[in-house]
């Protein structure tokens, strides 16, 4: 199996499970869990296809991946709650694996279509973070990509590495995948943040007992 397909499988399983866990945390019924799992697994790819000129209907040619996502969601839904509690501790790992796998997969997809580096980066970012954004919006949460820890930057780095030809061989792509996963987990553990600026009145916030960091 080519590496492109392997990354597709890894990302599909990781994001489908991630979406299912979020849906169960929000107490969705079984249909809601399935919808959120599938939206997380395929949302990024659909958004990417729209922007780089691939027909959206190509999703219906991905029958095996869709079946894999459904089975992953079903497994997450039926396992004992004690197992799910263990999985929830590793939720960041699932998200990091999905981010890395889909970012690299999206970049490879754009390279195969002979798009410029800018399009490769966009494809990597949208494929890597698009599903998570759809998941969080459907769950009524602020998207993870907009939170404090660095997230989308790692997908951008994957896009540049593939688009500029720094990662071409199978070994190089596997190393890039591992680096993105580790970098994402380090940013979670050490709470690395991008610079931000608040427009809130800190004086007013202090008077109301709120602290704006």
pLDDT tens-digit readout, 23-65:
998 999 999 999 999 999 999 889 888 888 888 888 888 889 9
pLDDT tens-digit readout, 88-97:
666 778 778 8
**Which pTM was predicted?**
0.80
Number of other CB atoms surrounding residue 4 within 10 Å: 14
SS3 94: helix
pLDDT at residue 16 is higher than 80: yes
**pLDDT at residue number 14:** 84
pLDDT tens-digit readout, 78-135:
988 777 776 666 677 877 888 898 899 899 989 989 999 999 999 999 999 998 899 8
Closest CA relative to residue 102, chosen from 127, 134, 130 = 127
Any idea of the CA torsion for 72, 75, 77, 81, to the nearest 10 degrees?
-130
Q: Are 173 and 139 in contact (CB under 8 A)?
A: no
């Amino acid at each position: 199996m080519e590496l492109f397909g392997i990354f597709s499988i890894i990302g599909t399983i990781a994001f489908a499970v991630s979406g299912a866990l979020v849906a169960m945390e929000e107490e969705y019924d079984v249909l809601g869990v399935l919808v959120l799992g599938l939206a997380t697994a395929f949302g990024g790819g659909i958004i990417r296809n729209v922007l780089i000129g691939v027909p959206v209907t190509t999703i219906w040619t991905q029958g095996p991946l869709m079946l894999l996502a459904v089975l992953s969601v079903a497994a997450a839904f039926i396992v004992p709650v004690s197992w799910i509690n263990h999985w929830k501790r590793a939720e960041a790992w699932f998200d990091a694996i999905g981010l890395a796998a889909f970012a690299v997969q999206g970049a490879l997809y754009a390279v195969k279509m002979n798009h410029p580096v800018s399009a490769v980066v966009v494809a990597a970012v949208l494929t890597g973070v698009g599903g998570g954004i759809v998941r969080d919006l459907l769950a009524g949460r602020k998207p993870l990509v907009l939170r404090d820890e660095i997230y989308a930057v790692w997908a951008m780095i994957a896009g540049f590495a593939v688009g500029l030809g720094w990662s071409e061989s199978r070994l190089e792509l596997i190393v890039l995948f591992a680096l993105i996963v580790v970098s994402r987990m380090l940013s979670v553990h050490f709470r690395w943040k991008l610079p931000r600026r608040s427009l809130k009145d800190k004086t007013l916030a202090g008077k109301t007992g709120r602290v704006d960091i």
